[in-house]
Chain A
Amino acid sequence: MGVVLSNIVAIYRKELQGYFASPLAYLVAGVFWLLSGFFFVWILVEIIQQVALADLQGQQIGVPVPPVDVPYEFLRSFLYVMGWLVLFVLPILSMGLYSEERKRGTLELLATSPLTNWAVAVGKLLGVLTFFTVMVLPLLLYEAIAFSAASSPVPPGVPLLGHAGLILLAAAVLSLGMFISSLTESSIVAAFLTFGLILALWLMDLAAKWIGGSFGDALGHLSLLKHYNNLVQGVVDTSSLILFASYIILGLFLTAQSIDALRFQRS
């Protein structure tokens, strides 16, 4: 057990070093920060102005304005947009996980090394997830500054839960993306396939509502976006957590299987 753990840590460290020495990773982070920062400012200004306008109108007419929790509303809208933004960012992060190794010819080394495929996959996933978490951290900083100006203090539970949801969502998507990346030599193909798969999982919710009935419910349960929105709203549902965990485990398992199959194909 200790050996497996140290193997995982070794892979994890190697992956992280790879990210922090890669210009592409910084480029992706830069683009992500630009887009997310733009959405952050835009949504914040929009909501504050809307509410201020409503307050002003209410004062003029003398009608009490219905209560609005501005930080909460902002958080929901912003994280909803983030859910769509990562749809484009995550495939780029996951595309190179195995296809790069395949291209460089190091995949055989990995497949035949004494490390179990499981350990390799877990290490890689943890590495890329850590990188994504680093990308998300600045958002928390912006929010901390903005929410410090709230008229009554904002309890940190819901914002933290929302970002934890974002990271969980990313973990599920990256895990599946890792599997796809293990199938092909081309990073671009992996990115496109991952994008398609996530889009399908996103839109599952719509399809489920269209179908209806118990089958629709079951299909709707598979939708990542639905569970993500649950968490963003501040509701922890164990079934959502189980679903995210299932996607992560499925991705890891399929990756390990796919690398395992490689041994026999080449031999």
Chain B
Amino acid sequence: MKNINWKYIKYLFLLGPFLTMAGLVAGFVSNSWGAVPVGLIIAGIIILGLWLLFVSTAPDSFWGKRSTQAGTNALAATLSMLVILGLINFLGVRRALRVDLTENQLFTLAPQSQRVVANLQQPVKIWVFESNPNPEARQLLENYRQYGSQFNFEFVDPQLRPNLAQKFNVQLPGEVYIESGTRRKLIQTLNQEQRENLSETQVTNAIAQITGDRVGKVYFLQGHGERPLTAVQGGLSQAISNLGEKNYTAEPLNLAKTPTIPEDATVVAIAGPKKALFAGEVKALNDYLKRGGSLLVMVDPNVNPGLDSLLKEWGVKLDNRLAVDLSGRQLGLGPAIIMVTRYGQHPITKDFGEGRSFYPLARPVQTTSIVGIQETPLLITNNESWAESDPENDQLEFNPQSDRQGPLTLGVALSRGYAPQSASVPSPSPTGSPSPTASPTASPSPTGSPSPSPSPTASPSPTGSPSPSPSPTASPSPTGSPSPSPSPTASPTASPSPTASPTASPSPTASPTASPTNPENTSQKPVESRLVVVGNSDFATDGLFEQQLNGDVFLNSISWLSKQDEQTLSIRPKEIKDRRLNLSQQKANLVGWMAVLIMPLIGFATAGFVWWLRR
């Protein structure tokens, strides 16, 4: 009875290799090593082990022979050796330590990059859509992966996996995307011909941005018939969701409820008001701009938003006429639908080339230059277009008396540097006026001259010789002082002095005299406020937002207004040591003859000699 049972049970052991194979196949096919494939493999191995145990205990079989026993022992030892080596290597990869012996640490990530990757909270993956990537890109990404387990990357041939390429909307080979959760972003396009390399600066910044908290809050002013943020006719829901993908939070703002602009506002947008704003609201906006705010104004024709006083300070005037362009007729566009193909030289429009964007019913924006304000026209209409003062007329034609010949500006970007509130001198360079006051008091510490008192009041000319020496000692103090800069009301004498005194000089008289000059010029960075005015708000509404470049005009404006360009981490690219080999003819000959002739000859001659000896 027992024997019969064993006979059949033996066949059950065939399950061992079967399950192992099934697990391996399942794992490879699905390309994921989840519970099922691993479970199958483990079950198979356990059954195989049981089988080994079974046959080794059964006596007087083929397995009982000595040679086979030795063979199985060897096999078991070899297998365990492989497993041990595999485990050691696995741990070795996990806990790898890298030492970069190259000069300038060519293969080591910058500390900022290391920190960004090490502090990742959620998984981030970089996709490189390139069929033939250069090894440097892979190496850089492998470096990143070493510093953080949340970081991953994959190289994808867009032709082999078109679905994935479509998901990312890949346009060109060599595009590099970053993905985290549902957010995706293009980092860089690697140029194949020039063997362009993946830039550490861009990758690190992209990681920092995609994982960072919301980069900014955009408030949309409400209460004057502005475009709603919801998905209704003429709403901005597509724009809002696109802002969300770029890490912005969009919120409505009603100044009737909260009289001032919130502190956390990165950008305030006024999108298509139908009624005029109240004077108090305009003042709140003005105050907001003066403390370094950013404003996006989109006003449709035939509306008086009441912003004239605010815009006038910036030299901007909203034209009451309607922009008209008859040349769009070939494309089936009405005369009031303006197609823009010319863009100004500005960060907002730098990648647009001659792309198209559409503005139904737009009003031109006129600008007059004001000192201290940098203005760049963004959207420029055709030469054939004009500003029509009487659009109700059936016969649309250019009337030189009342109309204005194009090209017209439909949108303009302006930026203005406000000096810090306490400062009188806007120049940020510390080499100007402060040097005579700072130099004599700082000079005692390096030179040890015993006469500090007469020099502070003296004119700059007698202190010509000591002035170079204090400048390095005085410069550490501004680097310490920027910490109080966010608070504009900080008293300049109190706060910087403890940070400046240990770095500048041990003498206590140096710090109070040096410190008042610092916050005025360096510690308080001049505030910059930015303004974008567009004579149309339709272009960003649902439906039109997706047309051609319309969405980019809106999103790039917001991103420029939010001053994102300033927040990038500056990572210095790795410098390769510039080195040449200037071989003299003598040395070249020496090396050449030795390498190609002498050493081989020595080898061959000795071979012949030894052979002859042995013969």
Contact = CB atoms under 8 A, between A and B. Distances in A.
B166 to A, nearest CB: 19
Interface of A is mostly: helix
Contacts of B107: 233-235
A117 B102 CA distance: 41
B101 interface: yes
A224 B70 CA distance: 32
B329 interface: no
B587 A212 contact: no
12 contacts: A26-B604, A27-B607, A36-B595, A44-B591, A48-B583, A72-B577, A151-B582, A234-B102, A235-B100, A254-B78, A257-B74, A261-B70
A61 B608 CA distance: 56
A30 B575 CA distance: 40
A37 interface: yes
A67 B577 contact: yes
Interface of B is mostly: helix
Nearest to A48: B581
Contacts of B96: 237-239
A242 B347 CA distance: 50
B98 A235 contact: yes
Interface stretch (A7-15, A142-150, A182-190): A142-150
B78 A257 contact: yes
A236 B99 contact: yes
A155 B580 contact: no
Interface of A: 21-27, 29-34, 36-38, 40-41, 44, 48, 51, 55, 66-72, 74, 138, 141-142, 145-152, 154-155, 157-158, 161, 209, 212-215, 221, 233-239, 242-243, 246, 249-250, 253-254, 257, 260-261, 264-265
Interface stretch (B85-93, B269-277, B499-507): B85-93
Interface string B579-611: 111111001001110111101111110111011
B14 interface: no
A149 B103 contact: no
B591 A265 contact: no
Contact of B580 (A26, A70, A246): A70
A74 B583 CA distance: 14
Contacts of A158: 101-103
A40 B81 CA distance: 40
B615 to A, nearest CB: 10
A264 B97 CA distance: 44
Contacts of A138: 594-595, 599
Contacts of B287: none
B595 A38 contact: yes
Interface residues of B, number: 61
Contacts of A142: 591, 594-595
Interface string B470-487: 000000000000000000
B466 to A, nearest CB: 36
Those 6 A-B pairs whose CB atoms lie nearest each other, nearest first: A30-B603, A37-B595, A26-B607, A67-B578, A34-B600, A242-B92
A65 to B, nearest CB: 8
B76 to A, nearest CB: 11
A215 B28 contact: yes
Given A26-B606, A149-B582, A233 B102 contact: yes
Contacts of A74: 581
Interface in B551-597: 575-584, 587, 590-592, 594-597
B154 interface: yes
A243 B89 contact: yes
A248 B155 CA distance: 32
Contacts of B52: none
B579 A236 contact: no
B98 A236 contact: yes
A31 B98 CA distance: 36
Interface string B453-466: 00000000000000
Contacts of B98: 235-238
A66 to B, nearest CB: 8
A30 B600 contact: yes
A24 B606 CA distance: 10
B600 A67 contact: no
Contacts of A212: 154-155
Contacts of A30: 600-604, 606-607
